Amino acid sequence: MNSGCQKNDVHVVKRRLLISGLVQGVGFRWEYRRVAEAAGTAGWARNLADGRVEVLLEGPADAVAKVEAWCHTGPRHAVVTGVEDEDDPLDDLAGGPDGP
């Protein structure tokens, strides 16, 4: 179930993902930013102390789905063993690596 809203006739969703496996030290965050920008989504990615990568992304539902699908494989040297996902309220994207 994706929560979202209509913005200019586009269904916008926001997702929070927790990616497990060999996902730190393999360029996951850098490549994620490239993929997310190319898809037209906004958000951020950060390493967690437990070895996972946390991702928050927002955009048109089809673009978010494309980026989320990429997160299940990640960049070439990553070994993704799991992706937990959840809907996130559609407020601002603050609180990330560059947020407050």
Give the active site residues.
29, 47
Encoded tokens for 16: 């929070």
